[in-house]
Amino acid sequence: MVHRPWSSSHRRSAVSRQPSAVNIHSFTHSKLKMLYIVITYLWASILLYLLLGGADFGAGIIELFTSKKNKQVTRKTLYSAIGPIWEANHMWLIIAIVILFVGFPVIYSTMSVNMHIPLTMLLIGIIARGTAFTFRHYDAVVDDMQYLYNSIFAISSFTTPLFLGIIAGSAVSGHIDPQADTFVDAYIFSWLHWFAITVGLFTVSICGFLASVYLIGETKVEHERLRFAHKAQFFNIAAVICGALVFVAAWFEHIPLFDWVFGNWVGRIAILSATLSLIWMWALLYQGKIDWLRPLAGFQVTMILLTTTYKHFPNIVLLKDGGYLSLTEHAGQEKTIEALAWALLSGSILILPALFYLIYSFQKNPLNYGNEAH
């Protein structure tokens, strides 16, 4: 006899609820609160990954766009800036993925199927980058291998956010077609189109921008600062150009991006305040004041994420046939969401103070590259 635990003592109640209890209407009022807590965490971890992971990717992108003679200095600044929080920066991605597959399994599995190829590319980037970063620092012998690690690190710092952007862009592009009957329609054109690619490039330039702004505050040497300020300018311009291209691509592909961003007050206010804060930021930079740069850059990116997600919330995947996958309608059952919310809340109580203390202690007393961990 095969033992079946699921039909014996583990059964909780004899009455079964609505068969497909995956609908928002089956959530009781207080549990709906739990669902919104989970959604907030999902959004926050995506944002934090974009900001912290993004700055981290950006540091590698800067390396890619730095002349040979400055590379070594850049690398040192970079290392002392991100070394200790390196691992933690990438945890946000894992948190977001876990929230998706536990709380919103239909969204996770649909994306996994149709985005198989870009997700695989993303993973390759993550593997290459993570290992190259560690190897180049911990290799006990310093020789020509460093050149290899550095190139892998810089290139994958570019491709990883590129594919992240492509995946994010595809999710809302309406190119995903669960009914597609050819390989190319289902697995290639779901992500290979101009809108997604421009979103990818936009993401890359945002990362470069975040990193340059971040690094300005990490060095005490005046001409270094200037160099990072130039980089920030460069990536700022790149972001504006790529952003414009995203709109152009959206227009050609009939994606109502303009309406999403400017068709409502939240979007308009967000874009306006982001623009104003950008101007303020540049003014500060030219006066040589650097204290507020990071929060301002962070604010701008937050506003961008807000505008692009606000209008079609709670739908985060828009399908070709006009259907969509929604964070409320395609959430898991009540008990799952409740447990997930409690796990996230109690996790934060443990994590956040420790994380702040980590960042604080290495901000107050930065690493001296070359001496630590040896």
Q: If contact means CB under 5 to 8 A according to the sort of partner, which of another protein, ligand HEM, none does residue 69 touch?
A: none
Q: CB of residue 57 vs another protein: minimum separation in angstroms?
A: 14
Q: Judged by CB under 6 A, does residue 94 bind ligand HEM?
A: yes
**Contact criterion met (CB below 8 Å) for 330 and 184:** no
Question: Measured between alpha carbons, how far is residue 80 from residues 157, 204, 361, 368 in Å?
Answer: 18, 22, 13, 7
Q: CB of residue 94 vs ligand HEM: minimum separation in angstroms?
A: 5
SS3 126: helix
Least Cα distance to 62 among 190, 235, 185, 283 occurs for 235
Select 76 or 90, whichever has its Cβ closest to ligand HEM.
90
Interface positions, 211-270, toward ligand HEM (CB under 6 A): none
Least Cα distance to 123 among 81, 90, 79, 75 occurs for 90
> For residue 271, what is the enclosing H or E element?
helix 265-286
For residue 314, whether the previous peptide bond is cis, meaning omega lies within 30 degrees of 0, is yes
Interface positions, 310-349, toward ligand HEM (CB under 6 A): none
324 forms beta bridges with 318
Q: CB of residue 77 vs another protein: minimum separation in angstroms?
A: 16
Q: CB of residue 90 vs another protein: minimum separation in angstroms?
A: 7
Select 47 or 293, whichever has its Cβ closest to another protein.
47
Select 183 or 265, whichever has its Cβ closest to another protein.
183
Select 57 or 195, whichever has its Cβ closest to ligand HEM.
57
Q: CB of residue 42 vs another protein: minimum separation in angstroms?
A: 12
With CB atoms as reference, the residue minimizing the distance to ligand HEM is 94
Q: If contact means CB under 5 to 8 A according to the sort of partner, which of ligand HEM, another protein, none does residue 155 touch?
A: none
Q: If contact means CB under 5 to 8 A according to the sort of partner, which of ligand HEM, another protein, none does residue 259 touch?
A: none
Q: CB of residue 99 vs ligand HEM: minimum separation in angstroms?
A: 13
Q: Judged by CB under 6 A, does residue 148 bind ligand HEM?
A: no
Distance between the two ends of the chain, CA-based, in angstroms?
A: 59
Q: CB of residue 34 vs another protein: minimum separation in angstroms?
A: 13
Contacts within 8 Å (CB) and 24+ apart, 23-29 = 23/329, 24/328, 24/329, 24/331, 26/334, 27/331, 27/334, 27/337, 28/334
**How far apart are the C-alpha atoms of 197 and 290, rounded to whole Å?**
33
**Helix count (H) and strand count (E) of the chain?**
14, 2
Select 184 or 240, whichever has its Cβ closest to another protein.
184
The 69-88 site mask, x for binding ligand HEM (CB under 6 A), equals ------------------x-
SS3 255: coil
Select 98 or 266, whichever has its Cβ closest to ligand HEM.
98
Q: CB of residue 333 vs ligand HEM: minimum separation in angstroms?
A: 20
Q: If contact means CB under 5 to 8 A according to the sort of partner, which of ligand HEM, another protein, none does residue 289 touch?
A: none
Q: How many CA atoms lie within 13 A of 169 on its CB side?
A: 31
DSSP letter string, 10-43: T---SS---TT--SGGGS-HHHHHHHHHHHHHHH
**Contact criterion met (CB below 8 Å) for 18 and 26:** yes
Select 87 or 259, whichever has its Cβ closest to ligand HEM.
87
Select 114 or 219, whichever has its Cβ closest to another protein.
114
Q: Which residues of the shown chain bind ligand HEM in the complex (CB under 6 A)?
A: 87, 94
